[in-house]
Amino acid sequence: MKRQSLGVALGLVVCAAASSTSSAAAQQVDSGVVLHVRSQAPGPQLGSIALTLRSGTVIVVSWFDIDDALSAAATGTITRENAAQDAKDAAFRAAGAGPQPIIRAKCAKDWPDDFTLRAYCERTQTAAVEKLQTRSMTSADQRTIHSKCLKDWPDDFALRNYCEETQLKALTALGR
C-alpha cells in the first residue's frame, strides 16, 4: 500500500509531546504535525475520518480538525487554482461552521424567491458533502480528479460530487 503524509492540525498535548518532552508539553499549543498515514477510511461518526498510521495505530479525526491546505501541500496536491477555495473551506471549518454557510448562500442565490427549491437545494448539497467527505482520494490520479472538480465547482458540492463520480468511472474504464 502506498504511504502518504497527511498534514493534520492537532492541538493540546499531542503536538507538544511530539516535539518536546519538557514541562512545556503540559501547556496547550496550537501547531501542526505531519503524520505518516498508511490508509484512510470514513470514520464511525458522520464528518470524521479514520486514519491508520504507519505504526498501525488508528485515530479518528473530525474533518473540522483537518487543515486542507497543509494536507494538500503534504501530499503534493495543492495548486494555485484550488488553494484559495481550500483556504476558504478551511476557514469555515476552523470557525466551526462547516460547509453550511456556503450551501445556504449558494441556494439562496440560486432560489431567492422559491423556498421549496431552496430547501431541496440545501438537502441535495448537504447529501453531496457527505459523499465527498467519505470518498477516499489517495492516488495521484484521484488527487488530480479532486483538484479539477474543486476548481471547476468551488461552491457547488452536488456538481463537485458528480464531477468526481464521473471522473472516477472514466478512470476505471481506462483501467487505472
Which residue ranges make up each domain of the chain? 98-176
Burial classification of residue 80, based on how many CB atoms lie within 10 Å of its CB (0-12 exposed, 13-18 middle, 19 or more buried):
exposed
Count of residues making up the chain: 176
The overall average pLDDT reported for the chain is 73
Whether the predicted pLDDT of 19 surpasses 60:
no
Amino acid 82: pLDDT: 53
What is the model's pTM?
Answer: 0.49
**Bridging pattern class, strands 30-42 and 58-62:** unpaired
Across the range 121-140, mean pLDDT stands at 93
Q: Does 125 have pLDDT greater than 80?
A: yes
- 38-51 mean pLDDT: 75
- Give residue 56's pLDDT: 81
The pLDDT of residue 59 is 85
Mean pLDDT of 136-148: 92
Q: Residue 54 has what pLDDT?
A: 75
The whole-number average pLDDT for the span 100-126 is 94
**Residue 99, CA distances (Å) to 43, 48, 66, 108, 151 in order:** 18, 14, 14, 14, 16
With bands split at pLDDT 50, 70 and 90, how would you rate the model's confidence at 43?
confident
Rounded mean pLDDT of 36-40?
74
Confidence band, pLDDT 50/70/90 cuts, at residue 129: very high
Is 60 exceeded by the pLDDT of residue 24?
no
Look at residue 131 and tell me whether its pLDDT is greater than 50.
Answer: yes
Q: How many CA atoms lie less than 13 Å away from 47 in the CB half-sphere?
A: 12
